[in-house]
Structure 1
Amino acid sequence: MTPGNNGASTPEEEDPFGYLYADGQANGAQPPSGGGYGYPNSVSRVRAVGERQYGQQAPPAAYGQAGVPQQGAYGQPNSHYAAPESYPGGPPTAPQQPTRRAGNGRGPNTKGLLIGAIAVVAAVVIGIAVAMTGGGDDNKADGQASTPPSSTKSASPTEQSSASAAPGELPKIDAKALRLEGGATTASDIKGAKAEGGVYVAGFNQVGAKVTWTVNGIEEAGTYRLYVRYGIPGVDANATLVVNGKANSQTLNMKNFGGLPAGDWEKGWQTTWANVNLTKGTNTVVIACNEGNQCNANLDQMYLTTDEG
């Protein structure tokens, strides 16, 4: 044995591709031709497919006898083998499709269900909290005034208006508490009204329009002075005054006492008065625009004093 040569090669050490390398060619390796490795005198281990036997197999039992048919030699079919579908009661011939779970083969989305449940509980808790904190809004005192309208608004003809004075005082009323009929409405566009929110009665300049004040709490029958605050565009106006269903002999005078220029509604707020006879208890006072009246006026407030003023 010399350096570079390890002696005669054994079949296990032979390289089947030795002819591809320079050292293999130097040792006489050649491309295979009909079996064996690339080295001279190499041992051929090629066998035909199915030739090798893996030992004797026990003869298969006849169909219907005890025992399981045995497989034949490697690579050869077993004549006693039959497909499962050929036996009575065997599996169906059509291939069974595997059952797939919803969600692309994944199991139930438990994480999504948990998040949804938490969201529902949170919504219920928030709703209960809002109901508990906001429930007191419905318990306001009946006498508390509401927010005045910023645009024209009609009052219901069936609305009953009343005013009761504190002990020792006579009743008074703002425009928005009056009962309106015949096209009379409330508005707040013109500045200068003293009623709460600057609300006054508009639309009074047409025949049939009227306002009604139901006066409660008159302690003694007698003559009282009714004051009416009104606004005109610098032009005289008047209306019919009716007390407890009876019209006064004189109209309610709403003249341009200040001599203000025509067309200026904002500067036209003034006050007039008339004597009225009231009974003890409840009375009705009506200011109406009838035929023959000049009713181009807005009405602001009404209040009572004794006849001495």
Structure 2
Amino acid sequence: MTPGDNGASTPEDDDPFGYLYADGQARGAQPPSGSGGYGYPNAVSRVRSVGERTYGGQQQAPQYGGQTIPQQPGAGGYGQQPTAAYQAPETFPGGAPTTRQTPPAPARGRGPNTKGLLIGAIAVVAAVVIGISVAMLNGNGDKNKANGASTTPTQSTSASPSPSSTSSVSASGELPKIDAKALRLDGGATLASDVKGANADGGTYVTGFNTVGASVTWTVNGIPASGKYSVYVGYSVPGKDATATLTVNGMASNTPVGMQNYAHAASGDYTKGWTRTYNYVQLNKGTNTIKLSCEQGNQCDALLDQMWLVKGWVKSGG
């Protein structure tokens, strides 16, 4: 462009406020009219009244230099078709999912050990059945005892042997006595009460003694002084003599315990065979262990019901 006034032939030379100046008025510049135009004649209309342009509906074709510019389909700017209504992404192929996806449930831990519970339940039922059976057997045994059905000793689990037998000298100095059910039983010895005549509490006695290795053990506390004592044994033999081995504080006596048929019972009659015998022993002050056992060479067919101590070596004990 060369210096000088080329007029308002191009949009960039169109001064919308030219009508305010003398040179603009000389070229015919006009103030804005009611239709919204202003500036020089045939100038580009750049200002629209507020609210004149519409969106989303039909638009009027713009004018340039007083001429209507045809609309161009699909082109931006003037002549563009109304914008289509908004569509959500999920309506297009490959768009976002239209339904909410439920996350997979977390993996659960190991369930309850139903197998272990079943085994436990079976064990409980079995224990109940065994308990009922034992109770019924004991009831039948008591009935037989009441009727005096048998005089032959039998093994019974109606009374459990004590795991260790301990007795103490009384405050008055009286030496202790122990019943069969308080003795420690080993080697097959067990308790029973079907043969009558035993002096122990409840008529309980030791049976199963007629086997090598069977034994009863008595631990005595509080012996007042070391010295001579006599140990007594209550027993029953079936019309024949028996023997056993006596061991005191781990040392076996050379003299066996003689369990003779002092009651003169008939052969096989344990009920009439109850009597007593004694042996001389040396005890220490304090605690002593006395054991009666069936060893090789003994004849041990006997029932045992009590043991007790007497001070000194005596020929009879009350």
So what's the TM-score if we normalise by structure 2?
A: 0.48
So what's the TM-score if we normalise by structure 1?
A: 0.50
Higher-Rg member (1/2): 2
